[in-house]
Structure 1
Amino acid sequence: MTTGRIGGCQVSAVPDGEGPAKAVPPRSFGEEGARLSYGAYLRLPDLLAQQVPQSSAPDELLFITVHQVYELWFKLLLHELEQARDAMAEGELWLAGHKFRRVHAIERVLVEQVEVLETMTPQDFLEFRALLAPASGFQSVQFRELEFLSGAKDAAYLERFRGASDAEVARLRRRLSEPTLWDAYLTALSRRGLPISDDEIMESLLTVARDRGSHDDLWRLAEDLLTHDETAAHWRMRHVQMVERQIGTKSGTGGSTGAPYLRGRTLLHYFPLLWELRSWL
């Protein structure tokens, strides 16, 4: 067999009697393709230009980077949780379970990421903290979207966001009106013929828990929801511990009470009935 090139394609010539020569298209990946670089695909020049400290404090770059990375993870979590919700509502329970496994992995990263911030001492933080006001993590629109999507809807937040754009407020309003993860799970129960009225829902959850042979997929989804709830609570607890370690009982830069407000949020449950279920088993 011999090879050559015709019109930009590599041609393989086969011995007599074995058929015609075949033109093989040029490779369009790797260095030969030269169509898209790593930096261009990830838009690295733009991405790496977004860390703009407001001071000369050495640790401000750390602070900005960690919080920007959080927002990127929040964006991905919203994407995955939306797909998990829609899969539950449409009866594709295997797909919902797959999405939840990814969500749980991301949420564990969020918890571990707190440790990176804790490498910053209170003295280091105080070098630039005053420059942050009135900016605050309280103003994270994506974080509130995650809470709304998970079932912790509170319209009062729409009036409390400082500097939120019209598009961001519209996103929050959409989250307030759209189905939650719990709504989608109830739809999955209903598809299985289980009643979901307020008076009957606990009995349906007990049926799922006690008849794993018939409803194991629904039971595993309930556990996925509970893991999402538990891991989010774990993150909130690690976050408030980090805040207390950094600023004690000082007020937040956004005007909240700081750690006391955050500690109150650690009691939040997205799916209280799934926690109550344990008492009935």
Structure 2
Amino acid sequence: MHSAMDPAARSRTYGGFLHLEELLSLQESPSGHHDEMLFFTAHQIYELWFKILLHELERARDAMLADDVPWALYCLRRVRVIERVLCEQIDVLATISPGSFQQFRGGLYSSSGLQSAQFREIEFLSGLKDPAHLRRDDLTDAERERLTRRLAEPALTEAFDMLRVRRGSPDLAEILRSEVIDDDLGRLAEALIDHDEGFSQWRYRHVRMVERIIGGRDGTGGSSGVGYLRSTLAKRFFEELWSVRGRL
């Protein structure tokens, strides 16, 4: 007879290495409704992708602070691809019918995707720092601590500005006027715009998905739903990098 696998050996298996037993036990369907499992799992997956985005954006920021443009570009390329994945995942949530969502919506109580601390961290790290988010009463102590740290540390916008100053404050319009950009600051500026655009596309797709499912009704967690989400569509991380195009 085979003896039970010892913990050390189990940790070297595929399931053990990925902690699959624990991971796969985290998906819930409190009401037992068919689409509830999808709803919970999709949002957990979003939070995992947000974790990776923070990891890559932080590394890109640190690379810029260290004058390592190639490494910053390496990380930002991955960020853009992940943001495409986030957009594609909207299509999965959009398969939940309006009637189906109403069957388990009440079980969400006061929870809302707007309460995602990692989402706010991405905004802070990218350059949209709003201290008002720190005053929310739905934050845990750990979440408030993370947002406080993100508020105090350099954002991507600041890291790019400092790098530009160290390079002699070149005119971005002059750099971007080239038909083929061969300047590393120019390539970095375009990579940051890619991130900004990618996140904006996700916001837009998310608004449309929510509108498709709940229409103009108030959202969960006390939000105004689609009305609030629409008001965020004009947000941008890198205003100067957008406006400079008007001077080309």
Change over 3 Å in CA distance of 1:161–1:145 after alignment to 2: farther
Query: Whole-Å Cα distance in 1 between the matches of residues 80 and 39 of structure 2?
Result: 24
Task: Say which of 242, 248, 255 aligns to 2:209.
Answer: 242
Instruction: Tell me which protein shows more helix as a share of its residues.
Output: 2
What is the identity percentage for the equivalent residue pairs of Structure 1 and Structure 2? 51
- Structure 1 runs of 4+ with >3 Å offset: 210-215
AA in 2 matched with 1:218: L
Query: Whole-Å Cα distance in 2 between the matches of residues 64 and 176 of structure 1?
Result: 29
Report the counterpart of residue 135 of structure 2 in structure 1: 159
| Secondary structure at the counterpart of residue 221 of structure 2 | coil
Report the counterpart of residue 102 of structure 1 in structure 2: 78
Report the counterpart of residue 129 of structure 1 in structure 2: 105
- Asked if 1:139 is matched to 2:115, the reply is yes
Task: Say which of 214, 220, 239 aligns to 2:187.
Answer: 220
Task: Say which of 221, 230, 234 aligns to 1:267.
Answer: 234
AA in 2 matched with 1:173: T
Instruction: Tell me which protein shows more strand as a share of its residues.
Output: 1
Report the counterpart of residue 169 of structure 2 in structure 1: 194
For residue 165 of structure 1, report the CA deviation from its aligned partner. 1.5
| Secondary structure at the counterpart of residue 250 of structure 1 | coil
For residue 35 of structure 1, report the CA deviation from its aligned partner. 6.6
Change over 3 Å in CA distance of 1:186–1:132 after alignment to 2: same
AA in 1 matched with 2:229: L
Query: Whole-Å Cα distance in 1 between the matches of residues 228 and 30 of structure 2?
Result: 27
Change over 3 Å in CA distance of 1:129–1:37 after alignment to 2: same
Unaligned runs of 5+ in 2: 1-8
Aligned length: 240
Report the counterpart of residue 57 of structure 1 in structure 2: 33
Unaligned runs of 5+ in 1: 1-32, 196-203
Change over 3 Å in CA distance of 1:214–1:187 after alignment to 2: farther
Change over 3 Å in CA distance of 1:90–1:139 after alignment to 2: same
Change over 3 Å in CA distance of 1:276–1:58 after alignment to 2: same
Query: Whole-Å Cα distance in 2 between the matches of residues 141 and 35 of structure 1?
Result: 31
Query: Whole-Å Cα distance in 1 between the matches of residues 157 and 137 of structure 2?
Result: 26
Change over 3 Å in CA distance of 1:37–1:244 after alignment to 2: same
Higher relative contact order (CA 8 A, sep 6+): 2
CA contact (8 A) 2:56 2:79 kept: yes
AA in 2 matched with 1:236: R
